[in-house]
Amino acid sequence: MTALSVNVNKIAVLRNSRGGAEPSVLKAAQTAIAAGAQGITVHPRPDQRHITPDDVLALARLCHRQGVEYNIEGNPFASARGSYPGLMDLIRQARPTQATLVPDGDGQLTSDHGFDLHKDADRLLPYIRQLKESGVRISIFMDAGTPDLELARQLGIDRIELYTGPFAEQFGHGDATPALALCRQSAVQALQLGIGVNAGHDLSQDNLGALLAAVPNVLEVSIGHALIGEALYAGLEPTVKNYLAICRHR
């Protein structure tokens, strides 16, 4: 079964839009875990427009206590500024199950491409070594069809997270066959190299089943934007359970 990691960034967006403590990121995570989610994902950004460093640490304590996976996403090159201590320092403090490295720029609205390892491998290597020394599983955000999987193996990457935005866009237009073929190609190659496969971005109840049916051995999907949007209408607990049912019947 593919594991579901619920991204709670959007809960923090709502909270921050008004100030104060509601809606509670911690309570949303607790609800998702109680509904059966196997993990929680956050993507703290330097501008703290949603998840804050305090959220990262509070969620770490919750996930460790509940025995579920904790996945922290972000750009390892993002340095400390103001009250943001930098991604690597947050990971050091939180000790998540997994760190997913994403090549987001500071002003980027959302993730929209994977790493180019031919360009970034040398810069990434010290961070990868640091994560390995800490015992944190390393995932790296990659485009479907990437030619860089052998480089990922050489760097010691444990998993890739396939960027599924193009798949979701094609699915919405009625034919996702080309994007699914690239996702499958990359997943098969990764598995042959001993690299695990995660997937994420713009996944929803509408398109998740098609992805899991076409792409072999996806270990984990990280879903936030669509899941939280759907939960506004159906409730968070039933929405998480709907996703888990899709993951079970891949």
What residues are labeled active site? 43, 73, 201
Three-class SS string for 188-239? HHHHHCCCEEEEECCCCCCCHHHHHHHCCCEEEEEECHHHHHHHHHHCHHHH
Residue-wise DSSP of 51-97: --HHHHHHHHHHHHHHT-EEEEEE-TT---BTTB--HHHHHHHH--S
Q: Which residues of 85-95 are buried (b: 16+ CB within 10 A; e: fewer)?
A: bbbbebbeebe
Residues paired with 200 in a beta bridge = 163, 222
Q: Please tell me the total number of residues recorded for the chain in this structure.
A: 250
Residues paired with 7 in a beta bridge = 41
Neighbour-count burial of 47, counting CB atoms closer than 10 A to its CB (0-12 exposed, 13-18 middle, 19+ buried) = exposed
Can you read off the two tokens belonging to residue 115?
Answer: 């790493």
Can you read off the two tokens belonging to residue 82?
Answer: 């103001």
* Separation between Cα atoms, residue 59 and residue 42, nearest integer Å: 9
Residue-wise DSSP of 120-166: HHHHHHHHHHHHHHHT-EEEEEEETT-S-HHHHHHHT--EEEEE-HH
